[in-house]
Amino acid sequence: MCTQAEVGQSLEIAMTSETSCKGPGEPNYCKQYVIVGGGIAGCTAAEDLLEIVSPEEVKVTLITATPIVKHVGKVVQVTRKLEDMEVVQRDANAFGEEHANLRIVQANVKSVDVHNHRIECENDSFLPFDRCLICTGAAPKIVSEHPHVVGIRDTESVKDVATRLKNARRVLVLGNGGIALEFVHEVTSCELVWAVKDAYVGNTFFDHTASGLVLPELESRRPVHIVDNLAVKNRGGEDRCDDPESYGDERVRKGIPSSNGSQAKCSERQPVGKKRPLPVALGQARHLPANRQGPLGGSLGPHWTADLSTSLSSSTAEKKADSSVTNPKPLTILFHAELEELYETPENPPTSSETSGEHEWPLYVRLTTGHTWGCDFLVSATGVVPSVDFLGPEFARGEDGGVVVNDRMQTTASPDVYAAGDCCSMTWPTSEVWFQMRLWSQARAMARYAARCMSDQVDDLGAGFAFELFAHMTRFFGFPVALLGCFNAQLLPDAEQRRLIREVEVAFPGKATQQEAVGEGQACSPNVQLSAQTRRKDGSNALQREENGTTDRLQDHVEILTRLTPGKEYVKVVVVGGRVKGAMCVGESTESAETFENLILNELDVSAFGVDLLNPDVDIDDFFD
């Protein structure tokens, strides 16, 4: 079972401390545990397995498609559940040498034969296994297969985007998650048009108010022009593109000079009539975008935007000459705007007072706003699709396309084949404050748990503990962000009716008295605003009764308390029936994350606090000590 002849020698990069092994049933039989994927999940599982299993009994092999692996480096434990982790990119060889008893194989896996317990690779080599863990991650969802449509996923794709940006005049960005947000923040060297289907930026992580906290940061870097297309439609008219000031709503902040310094021309944004559509239909999820022809590497780490900047101006001379610093190009944000169609050539080229050369674009993007934008290329940042095409139908797929796993991380194909990380679909955790989101914190947690499951070292308690609370720590535009539980009121009953929540501004109870009592230095900032939103679970939109600053909380009430200190912090707490179910802390308020985490995990009744839950002068922890 474990003879080396079965493994194509050419696949092997490094092998340390080979243990002699025998076939099943023979004395000294050494089990083969094979992990597919050298990203965060795969590397974490390999490291954990090596710690758990005995090298005499189990041989651990990691298959990586590329010579580079990504793993978690330093981890700072911020709270019991929140971890600030460093993601490190390493040469696979070096990673193998660092871990005695880990065998590393470079190969692109083309199938997993569950009946014969073997993994088949692209060069017709195969690897036998007793247990196998699939950690092949996910690939960008690409809206169309076209040379000018690109995705951002791994180091190679970032290098490609940087090369394209060097000569780009205008780039269109689609999507509203972390990647789009960081891209528009980082790239100022050319004009950007950002089509956002929602009403505010960064809706994967933020709510409307938190989004408002980061918007000024974008505006501090370049001219920003904001157009809400819903507002335009509601005003009863087609968007007029001849005058940028009347183009959008009242949120137009600054004029939009075009890439050559003049105002963007109406003709560049007008619908261009009948055009020749691209050969590939929209909406196809491609695993290899135009900028990635080889196997995809592991997803990028937290410093990918720095890598993008470095690639953009690689030499010192280039850095000095980088005009994007002194002359940042404008950003147009289009809210309620989605992709409708792509064209290569407008049949009726837009008329313009400028030379036609300046108005010919490699790609034309028609949006649901009814306007067409020419651009050099389109960045498709509309989410990811699990990389599991190489697996057969015996592997059940979840709604999100991931491989379904049970509470022991086993796939439906075989109890000996497990999956973890972005490639899998977790439907079983029962906690009402945990949900799956494709993030490195979850890839790591799943991999650690899967390693324990593979080595039969887990019980029901372990499963509950690993996935009891959604907890993620990240950073956007310099602001630390801590997300806990149902931070955006996800998973709550009547979630579809969340928009019915009415906002009630609640005066801060006893604020003046407290300010007097604690002295000026510790008093609430005059900028601190407290607001409470409340509704009944039945969606009836009932407001809280407020009498003398106290509130009458019904058990089925959902309350959302928020505190905003402009430019400094934003904190939101979601309370259901008197118990905290989620929290979002942005900026300075991340210091309170531990308190909210404890409140969620301990399920303590906080009804008595009312809006004082967010009073910076009330130490909630004191009450529970």
Interface residues with ligand FAD (CB under 6 A)?
A: 36-42, 63-66, 70, 108-109, 135-137, 152-153, 178-179, 295-300, 302, 304, 387, 390, 421-423, 438-441, 443, 474
Nearest distance from C-beta of residue 25 to ligand FAD, angstroms: 30
Nearest distance from C-beta of residue 215 to ligand FAD, angstroms: 19
> What residue number has its CB nearest to ligand FAD?
39
Nearest distance from C-beta of residue 89 to ligand FAD, angstroms: 10
Nearest distance from C-beta of residue 438 to ligand FAD, angstroms: 4
- Cβ neighbours around 11 below 10 Å, total: 18
Place of tokens 């963007």: 264
Rg, Å, the chain Cα set: 27
- For residue 131, give the 3-state DSSP assignment: strand
**The pair of three-digit structure tokens given for residue 246, joined into one six-digit string:** 């009347």
Among residues 294 and 493, whose Cβ is nearest to ligand FAD? 294
Nearest distance from C-beta of residue 149 to ligand FAD, angstroms: 16
Among residues 205 and 364, whose Cβ is nearest to ligand FAD? 205
Sheet bearing 331-335, strands edge to edge = 149-150, 377-380, 170-174, 191-196, 331-335, 224-228
Place of tokens 């706003």: 369
Nearest distance from C-beta of residue 503 to ligand FAD, angstroms: 30
8 Å CB contact between 108 and 121: yes
Nearest distance from C-beta of residue 2 to ligand FAD, angstroms: 20
Among residues 21 and 158, whose Cβ is nearest to ligand FAD? 158
Nearest distance from C-beta of residue 333 to ligand FAD, angstroms: 20
Among residues 44 and 369, whose Cβ is nearest to ligand FAD? 44
Among residues 34 and 524, whose Cβ is nearest to ligand FAD? 34
The letter for the amino acid at 538 is D
Among residues 387 and 595, whose Cβ is nearest to ligand FAD? 387
8 Å CB contact between 375 and 361: yes
Among residues 121 and 532, whose Cβ is nearest to ligand FAD? 121
Place of tokens 């289907």: 197
- For residue 526, give the 3-state DSSP assignment: coil
Give the contacts of 77 (CB within 8 A, at least 6 positions apart).
83
Query: Rounded to an integer, what distance in angstroms lies between the CA atom of residue 608 and that of residue 27?
Result: 66
Query: Rounded to an integer, what distance in angstroms lies between the CA atom of residue 448 and that of residue 620?
Result: 33
Nearest distance from C-beta of residue 293 to ligand FAD, angstroms: 14
Query: Rounded to an integer, what distance in angstroms lies between the CA atom of residue 321 and that of residue 340?
Result: 38
8 Å CB contact between 485 and 576: no
Burial grade of 25 (CB within 10 A; 0-12, 13-18, 19 or more): exposed
- For residue 392, give the 3-state DSSP assignment: coil
Among residues 1 and 133, whose Cβ is nearest to ligand FAD? 133
Among residues 47 and 422, whose Cβ is nearest to ligand FAD? 422
8 Å CB contact between 41 and 446: yes
Query: Rounded to an integer, what distance in angstroms lies between the CA atom of residue 29 and that of residue 98?
Result: 25
**The pair of three-digit structure tokens given for residue 120, joined into one six-digit string:** 């088949």
